[in-house]
Amino acid sequence: KMNLAFAKSTKWWEKGLQPNMREIESAQDLVDSLANAGDRLVVVDFFSPGCGGCRALHPKICQFAEQNPDVLFLQVNYEEHKSMCYSLHVHVLPFFRFYRGAQGRLCSFSCTNEAYHLPFDEMLTMVALV
């Protein structure tokens, strides 16, 4: 009798995660994470497993997380949390929202296929100064 064991393959959005990055499990988890972040800058990354742009941008986000350990990066899987994404008016991916403590939502934007890295670089730098 043969016993085959397959290692669980790591999904692309789980690769390269830094200590300040985590996936959101529910709408309440998102609310609690934002409330518990205090005055930290929080970047919420809305993604879909089938989104090529999301996949292409993921290593860059991991790099930003590594370079900015005081910033909290939260990932929201659009496919698993569609109703939450609809209620947050997230319809285009990849999509990012920036939050900070009492100031609440600072800004939001999506990246198009033509320009992944530049807008995110500029936005993170600009928001970090707020």
Domain encompassing residue 81: 17-128
CA distance 18 to 103: 25
| CA 109 from centre of chain | 12
Catalytic one of 51, 62, 107, 111: 51
Specify if 9 maps to a domain: no
Active site residue 51: yes
Catalytic one of 54, 85, 107, 111: 54
Give the CA angle between residues 60, 61, 63 to the nearest 5°: 65
Specify if 95 maps to a domain: yes
Specify if 7 maps to a domain: no
Specify if 52 maps to a domain: yes
Strand pairing class (21-23; 72-77): parallel
Specify if 30 maps to a domain: yes
Q: What's the whole-model pTM score?
A: 0.80
**What's 97's domain CATH number?**
3.40.30.10
Beta strands across the sheet bearing 41-47: 21-23, 72-77, 41-47, 95-100, 104-110
For the residues of 101-116, what is the DSSP string, one character each?
GGGEEEEEEE--TT-S
For the residues of 53-100, what is the DSSP string, one character each?
HHHHHHHHHHHHHHH-TTSEEEEEETTT-HHHHHHTT--SSSEEEEEE
Q: Are 44 and 127 in contact (CB under 8 A)?
A: no
Specify if 4 maps to a domain: no
Per-residue pLDDT of 30-86, as tens digits, reads 999 999 999 899 999 999 999 988 998 899 899 989 988 999 999 999 999 999 999
Specify if 8 maps to a domain: no
Active site residue 85: no
Per-residue pLDDT of 96-128, as tens digits, reads 998 987 677 777 767 754 444 455 566 666 555
| Domain count for the chain | 1
